[in-house]
Amino acid sequence: MSAAWWDRLSDGLSKTRDAIQSRVASVTGRTPALDDAFFEGLEEALILADAGASAAADLVEHLRDLVRRERLREPAEALERLVGVIADAFPPESRDPLSDLPAVILLVGVNGSGKTTTAGKLAYEARGAGRRVVIGSADTYRAAAIEQLRVWADRAGATVVERQRGADPASVAFEAVAAGQQTGADLVLIDTAGRLHTSPDLMEELKKVDRVVRKRSEAPVRSLLVLDATAGQNALQQAREFHAALGLDGVVLTKLDGTATGGIVIGVAFELDLPIVRIGVGEAPEDMHAFDACEFARALLGVRDTQV
Ligand SMILES: Nc1nc2c(ncn2[C@@H]2O[C@H](COP(=O)(O)OP(=O)(O)O)[C@@H](O)[C@H]2O)c(=O)[nH]1
Ligand SMILES: [Mg+2]
């Protein structure tokens, strides 16, 4: 990982990191340092970072066991072990829904979470790897949304399938899949509308898009939830609802460069057992990265990798 990339992710997670580091600093030099208050403090910091209460309790319990078994005494050692404990809470990388192509990827999520931007970034990444990409513009509610996606598609060198505003999203998605098949595309990305996840209409519309796409596609179809990491506990609730309605294959966490607490990544992986497929750290095409659980845990806890 380059220093710039580390700093970018690290800056976004500074709030959580500072909270954890100050707890560690407050017990350093004390004997014994690794007492109940230390572990309770860590658990509280993880909850404040939006990891969710059950994930926080479970992770800290694991850490306590390790510390006891290895007879650790130093807060820095405990923190280093916590990196491993957090990293192990994520599903294995072998479950990356973007790793085996051809595929059709449905991008879903609430308004403003970053679906269109993510479609553009994924197209840009796949084009960079020499893949043929078709993007379906299935957010037909706003003319601006269609425009925005076209700009991204042009930039990436991807083919875009679009219809006029107000067209049936499922038919646009259907056409995109058909176009992908006809042209031998490796990747078909379907951008959808957001609105509120609490709107039953939206879920019904997405289920219809999902049904139509699965029926038409010969390639595997995977649904990715695009989540705004700055939404905190709200993001976890959205993930539960989208997962229940659509059966998700993974999550893209956006805006980790912003004011995100970051722990939401842990909550989603832990509670829903979904892989974090990519993370977004800015608005430019190259501001998206594969998720590495160990790197992430290091950035969140402020523990530099000492092995490199
Ligand atoms: N800082 C930052 N902004 C992002 C990121 N992803 C998306 N955005 C911005 O969030 C806003 C909403 O994104 P958009 O893709 O239109 O969301 P959609 O409604 O889900 O399609 C836009 O201003 C994007 O530029 C990210 O990873 N970091
Ligand atoms: Mg959009």
**Mind listing the pLDDT tens digit for each residue in 149-180?**
999 999 999 999 999 999 999 999 999 999 99
What spacing in Å lies between the alpha carbon of 149 and ligand 2's midpoint?
Answer: 8
Q: Is the pLDDT of residue 308 over 60?
A: no
Report pLDDT for 66. Answer: 97
Predicted confidence band at 197 (pLDDT cuts at 50, 70, 90)? Answer: low
Q: What average pLDDT does the segment 250-267 reach?
A: 86
User: Among the atoms of ligand 1, which is closest to the Cα of residue 139?
Assistant: 21
What spacing in Å lies between the alpha carbon of 229 and ligand 1's midpoint?
Answer: 11
Q: What average pLDDT does the segment 220-227 reach?
A: 96
- DSSP for the chain reads --HHHHHHHHHHTHHHHHHHHHHHHHHTT-SS-SSHHHHHHHHHHHHHTTS-HHHHHHHHHHHHHHHHHHT---HHHHHHHHHHHHHHTSPPGGG-TTSSSSEEEEEE-STTSSHHHHHHHHHHHHHHTT--EEEEEE--S-HHHHHHHHHHHHHHT-EEE---TT--HHHHHHHHHHHHHHHT-SEEEEEE--S-TT-HHHHHHHHHHHHHHHHH-SS-EEEEEEEEGGGTHHHHHHHHHHHHHH--SEEEEE-TTTT--STHHHHHHHHH---EEEEE-SSSTT-EEE--HHHHHHHHHT---TT-
Ligand 1 site, CB within 6 A: 109, 111-117, 194, 226, 254-255, 257-258, 280-283, 287
Report pLDDT for 306. Answer: 64
Q: Is the pLDDT of residue 127 over 60?
A: yes
Predicted confidence band at 18 (pLDDT cuts at 50, 70, 90)? Answer: confident
User: In this structure, how many other beta carbons lie within 10 angstroms of the beta carbon of residue 4?
Assistant: 8
Q: Using most ligand atoms within 8 A of CB, pick from 117, 257, 283 the residue to mutate for ligand 1.
A: 117
Q: Using most ligand atoms within 8 A of CB, pick from 125, 148, 254 the residue to mutate for ligand 1.
A: 254
Name the range with the highest mean pLDDT among 28-32, 145-149, 187-191: 187-191
Q: Is the pLDDT of residue 80 over 90?
A: yes
Q: Is the pLDDT of residue 26 over 70?
A: yes
Residue 152: nearest ligand to its CA? 1
CA distance 3 to 1: 7
Q: What average pLDDT does the segment 205-218 reach?
A: 96
- pLDDT tens-digit map of 85-124: 999 999 877 667 888 899 999 999 999 999 999 999 999 9
Report pLDDT for 283. Answer: 94
Q: Is the pLDDT of residue 258 over 80?
A: no
User: Among the atoms of ligand 1, which is closest to the Cα of residue 110?
Assistant: 20
Residue 119: nearest ligand to its CA? 1
Averaged pLDDT score across all residues of the chain: 90
Report pLDDT for 202. Answer: 85
In contact, 270 and 251? CB cutoff 8 Å = no
| Backbone φ and ψ of 80, nearest 5° | -60, -40
In the chain, pLDDT over 90 holds for what percent of residues? Answer: 62
Report pLDDT for 6. Answer: 67
In the chain, pLDDT over 70 holds for what percent of residues? Answer: 94
User: Among the atoms of ligand 1, which is closest to the Cα of residue 109?
Assistant: 20
Check residues 92 and 205 and name the one with the higher pLDDT: 205
Predicted confidence band at 255 (pLDDT cuts at 50, 70, 90)? Answer: very high
Q: Is the pLDDT of residue 126 over 90?
A: yes
Beta bridge partners of 250: 224
Class of residue 94 by CB neighbours under 10 A (exposed 0-12, middle 13-18, buried 19+): exposed
